[in-house]
Structure 1
Amino acid sequence: MKTILIIDDEKEIRELLTIYLKNLGYTTLEAANGAEAMEMFEREAVDLVIADIMMPEMDGYQLLKTMRSTSNIPFLFVSAKSDDMDKIYGLQLGADDYVGKPFNPLEVASRVQALFRRIEAYRDPEEQELDYIEIGDIRLDLKGCKLYKAGVQEETTSYEFKILALLMKGAGRVMTKAHIYEQVWGEEYIGDENLIMVYISKIREKIEANPRKPDYLITIRGLGYRFEKGC
């Protein structure tokens, strides 16, 4: 399940795009301006960005420049600045596509799908054939659904494995309880924090030398959890 960050200062546009994208099975996040979007981008696992250009605090061009300094995430402009020079400038900055306003939400949804297909088609073959993730002495066999700690297999439930795989694939990035729940269970998060906490505790018992002082699976107070990149 892919997560799409929608950034526009018009609430109605964000809600319209959310409806169409969720109907296609995507998870969506919303931000009203570039500054808010950057805060969200830094703490959430986002797979694609849809952004307006003319926004308060940080416009779409500056937002794209900032994101491109650390990420090659697919980026789609949906903007009323639809002159050829505006499109050319946006694409030169690193945008992957550009749709002018007013727009047909079906077109935007189709372009999102096309971007994801393009990424999959040109992904590094080694990445496509990834069989495992290894960080420190933790090894996750993605095809065999097995967890190894210092070479010794640890038994996991299916949900424990899915949560750990999600966190290790996004190592270094904070993931909220809501994001974990929606990605693993495939349902809208209803605020049951205890469920996630129980699974995190069980995972720590299997991967940490001292579960009370974890080296790998770190709690970020008030936000969620992060799997450390190198231990």
Structure 2
Amino acid sequence: MRSEAILVVDDEDGIVVMLDNLLRREGYTHITKATSAAEALTAVRAVRFDMIVLDVMLPDMDGFTLCTEIRKTSNTPILFLTARSSDLDKLQGLYLGGDDYLTKPFNPLEVVARIHAHIRRSSIYASDSMNTEELYKFDRLTVNRTTGQLIVNDEEVPCPAKEFELLLYFCKHPNRVFTVQQLYEQVWGTMVDGDEKTVVIHISRLRKKLEADPSVSKLIVTLRGIGYKFVPPTRSLR
């Protein structure tokens, strides 16, 4: 039996029951089910979840708005499930703090596989953090793996789990060029078509936190047609 707590939010009872059954077969027993945004917010305020599966179309609040509310108090990985298949909807969900995105109809086993991958990586990350103190300090940018803190210009900046893991990976490998596929596989897992947008959006969100002018990035540099590299700051970020 697994100890991780999972929140499944969807207004379709059939999907909630199906995911609950599949996850229990995989050994997850701490599963909370919600069919509305109000129920989900109540659950998030009461329980520290390891994973949240979130539908976009809810009766009382859309999932994008709910994600924004959750991000005010929680950095738990969020996987969006939605019937909206346009790139704009996917980009919006990722920009607002989502970590992953699947469209309906979906393969239930893929949902479970992605949930398991997120939890497994978070578990490895937490275990490594307990055993090894890691502190990266570049001028006014500090990334503390042990405490999970991002400090920019002496101020703590909230950073969801996948953003933090991506930034930490960059910090471990400064000035090294990575393709989008390499970054996705290191932080999220096996890459499939469409997942490159996940990396691009997370880098965009990091730039807003790190850069004085995100449109002219000096820290996470784009090498067109190749990928990205992290160039540690040597002067003030402002």
TM range (shorter): 0.5 to 0.7
In 2 relative to 1, CA 10–96 (structure 1 residues): closer, same or farther, beyond 3 Å? same
Letter in 2 for 1:65: T
For the residue of structure 1 that corresponds to 2:79, the secondary structure is: strand
Which residue matches 2:193? none
2: CA distance, partners of 1:40 / 1:110: 24
1:164-192: CA deviation from partner (whole Å, max 9, x where unpaired)? xxxxxxxxxxxxxxxxxxxxxxxxxxxxx
2: CA distance, partners of 1:64 / 1:128: 32
User: CA RMSD of the aligned region, Å?
Assistant: 1.8
- Superposition deviation, residue 14 in structure 1: 0.2
Structure 2 unaligned runs (5+)?
134-238
For the residue of structure 2 that corresponds to 1:58, the secondary structure is: coil
Which residue matches 1:96? 99
Equivalent residue pairs, number: 130
Which residue matches 2:24? 22
Correspondences of 1:34-183 after superposition (within 5 Å): 34-123=37-126, 125-128=128-131
2: CA distance, partners of 1:44 / 1:71: 10
TM-score under structure 2 length normalisation: 0.52
For the residue of structure 1 that corresponds to 2:98, the secondary structure is: coil
Q: Do the aligned residues in 2 keep the contact of 1:7 with 1:51 (CA within 8 Å)?
A: yes
Which residue matches 1:12? 14
For the residue of structure 1 that corresponds to 2:105, the secondary structure is: coil
Q: Do the aligned residues in 2 keep the contact of 1:75 with 1:95 (CA within 8 Å)?
A: yes
Given candidates 33, 36, 44, the residue that maps to 2:36 is 33
Q: Do the aligned residues in 2 keep the contact of 1:33 with 1:59 (CA within 8 Å)?
A: no
1: CA distance, partners of 2:6 / 2:41: 13
For the residue of structure 1 that corresponds to 2:88, the secondary structure is: helix
Question: In percent, how many aligned pairs have the same letter?
Answer: 42
TM-score under structure 1 length normalisation: 0.53
Bigger Rg, which one: 1
1: CA distance, partners of 2:131 / 2:116: 18
2: CA distance, partners of 1:128 / 1:23: 31
- Superposition deviation, residue 129 in structure 1: 6.1
- Superposition deviation, residue 83 in structure 1: 1.0
Structure 1 unaligned runs (5+)?
131-231
Q: Do the aligned residues in 1 keep the contact of 2:7 with 2:33 (CA within 8 Å)?
A: yes
